[in-house]
Chains A and B, each alone.
Chain A
Amino acid sequence: MDQLLQHLVNTLILGGTYALLGIGLTLIFGIMNVVNFTHGALYTMGAYLMYLAVTALGLGFFLALPAAILGGLLLGAVIEFVLLRPLRGSDIDTTMLVMIGAGIVLQSGTLWIFGGVAKSVPTPFPDAPLHLGPVSVSWLRLFVLGAALALIGLTYALINRTRLGLAMRATFQDHDTAALMGVNVRLIYTATFAIGSSLAAAAGALLGPVYVVFPQMGGLAELKAFAIVILGGLGNITGAAIGGFILALAEELGAGYISSGYRDAMGFLIIIAVLVFRPTGLFARAERIG
């Protein structure tokens, strides 16, 4: 029982950051239809920006976090502006190849600049964990959960409650009509990619201090982000948020009670099941076609 409780607490904390990763990618992959292979690299970038802001700039942990997220936003905007804007209208394979190349450049760039030795980000939180009966959780992880939930809420509000969000939804529903209604479509594409990227960077900046920061940390994170997006249904933000928690639960319970060797396979088993039984994702609503 104690073990189950601990697994559930772990799930909650892991799920928060998985949800962030998933929402960021679903904006780009699901809504913009760009198979974004830079998502993992942006996660890594967020962690390195956090590391730089805390150690080299001496910004302090709580200021470094928004700085890293802002860095991710800018980097995302640059990637969209330089690589994706000229490719709009070309087929999905071309875009995908370019994004694979960009991902490799970003990953090798971090390896080149920072070297392969992992870095650790100092945090202001105490080493001793918080004990809640039989369950222990570190203060840092609690903060990560809180910050992740806040960012998810913010993104949700941005998409559903602001004019920018309205313009985004309009653009991806019908690009031409939105343009005719006076929406600056090119700006919306850049903004969407930048926001999606900043969420990946946020996940990296939050998890970097929890784990260690190294150039390849984004690889597995990216695969999991794709898993979450498929789980929740392409472009479905609520689905991606819930998908993040479901993936975390499957990994925790799978590793805890079935076999830890297959921990990272659990998520992909779920995806296969989802694709077989509910190809549009777990949370797809009935949709009118035509």
Chain B
Amino acid sequence: MRKPTLYPAMMSSLALALTLASGPARADAGASGAGPIRIGVNEPLTGPFAASGTYVVNGAKIAADEINAQGGVLGRKIELVIEDNKSNPTEAAAVAEKLITSDKTPVMMGAWGSSLTLAVMPKLADYETPMLVETSSSGKITTTGNPYVFRISPPSALEAEAFAPMVGKIGLKKVDFIVINNDWGRGAAADFTKMLKDKGVAVGLVETMDQGAQDMSAQLSKLKGSDADTIMITAAVDQLTLLFKQMSALGLKKRIITTGGSQNPDQIIAQAGGAADGTLHLTTFLPWYPDRTPNPKATTYFIEEWKKRGFQFAGVTESFRGYDGIRTIAQAIAKAGSTEAAQIKAAFWAVDFTGLNGQIRFAKSGPAGRESGQSKPDVYLIRIESGRVVMPEL
């Protein structure tokens, strides 16, 4: 044999090493001591939600830098320990375990998607460590009795409740749904269906699509043939772009309303072009009109800082959650006067400040004795018109 026999073995171990590669080992500074206070960040940096997760992390970094520039918390700097959950629930749970046991983070933020957050939640109870949930909107997160969960994003039911007064003004008669096939999408369809039926609006088809699906022509062909006047969509920005383009290709012209707060309207405008004209979106942040947000000064600061760092403006509708999330955690640590998980968990109930999308103050949610914390952010309805974001007068 002239062939070097070691080569196959080397190549396969290289492949294995690449598969198993994990973050660098860190010196164990622990939760206590004089070093920086560590905050775990569990976000999707690869996989289908990579873009959104990266936005959230970049927003979190702005908050950490701002807090550290002002002297940190409890006289110590804060340090974000950022881990990639690969848009995969199994990975998200593993990341949480690693952050708690190996990095000794006493509090975490995560995990973007509802299915990711739900997968992490049992770990929070196991290790008695609180987590600030910044994006997920499935109702289950704050209703199943996990007292370690504090959420600043609106669950679908809250979003539906905020949308209820607009239903009559828009003139909805019959609504079909197309949603992403996971806890987020199905939860949204269920909560909005309930609200619409209470308002006397008929609900027709509920179509779903896989989270990685790119071709929705089959579902859309079915929706095209239905007699509903409106289609409500719950999905992240990339699938929304595809849906709008494919609707236009199929000649499907109905009123479109999207929910879920991960629409990034500016990215939709850039990528779907005319196909997005006239679409309505329920969002939880108004970066286009800083003066109409609850905290114009903070909003302006955040947007300026975002631009200064060279990030795309389209990302702010995601990244503001990371920014508010870390500010909420910092306030909880300050109020706890401690870096122990138990004290931070208790102090979350005392957090009270004006975030970028409303007052951040946790109300009890879920079964008595084991309540989760739920803040109530503002919800806005915007419309895309000739490539611009406008607020329809209702």
- Interface residues, chain A, CB within 8 Å of chain B? 2-3, 6-7, 10, 14, 83, 86-90, 94, 97-98, 100-102, 104-105, 108, 111, 115-118, 120, 127-129, 131, 136-138, 140-141, 207, 211-212, 214-217, 219-220, 251-256, 259-261, 263-264
Task: Report how far A211 CA is from B68 CA in the complex, Å.
Answer: 42
Task: Report how far A3 CA is from B223 CA in the complex, Å.
Answer: 10
What is the size category of the interface that chain B forms with chain A? Answer: 35 or more
Name the contact of B238 in the complex, choosing from A2, A137, A214 (C-beta under 8 A).
A214
- A3 adjacent to B312 (CB under 8 Å): no
- Interface residues, chain B, CB within 8 Å of chain A? 3-4, 7-9, 11-12, 14-16, 18-19, 45-48, 50-51, 53-54, 178, 181, 207-210, 212-215, 217-219, 221-222, 224-225, 237-238, 241-242, 245, 248-251, 267, 270-271, 273-275, 312, 315
Name the contact of B219 in the complex, choosing from A88, A219, A260 (C-beta under 8 A).
A260
- A215 adjacent to B50 (CB under 8 Å): yes
- B15 adjacent to A101 (CB under 8 Å): yes
CB neighbours (8 Å) of A111 from chain B are 46, 50
- B48 adjacent to A216 (CB under 8 Å): yes
B159 to chain A, nearest CB (A): 22
CB within 8 Å for A212 and B271 given contacts A116-B46, A118-B238: yes
Task: Report how far A35 CA is from B47 CA in the complex, Å.
Answer: 23
CB within 8 Å for A129 and B250 given contacts A97-B16, A116-B45, A260-B218: yes
Interface of B is mostly: helix
A-B contacts, 5 of them at CB < 8 A, read: A127-B273, A128-B248, A215-B46, A220-B213, A255-B218
- A138 adjacent to B238 (CB under 8 Å): no
- A104 adjacent to B225 (CB under 8 Å): no
- A117 adjacent to B209 (CB under 8 Å): no
- A251 adjacent to B15 (CB under 8 Å): no
- B271 adjacent to A120 (CB under 8 Å): yes
- A141 adjacent to B19 (CB under 8 Å): no
CB neighbours (8 Å) of A117 from chain B are 51, 267, 312, 315
A251 to chain B, nearest CB (A): 7
CB neighbours (8 Å) of B219 from chain A are 255-256, 260, 263
CB neighbours (8 Å) of A261 from chain B are 181, 208
Task: Report how far A264 CA is from B312 CA in the complex, Å.
Answer: 33
Task: Report how far A3 CA is from B50 CA in the complex, Å.
Answer: 35
- B212 adjacent to A104 (CB under 8 Å): no
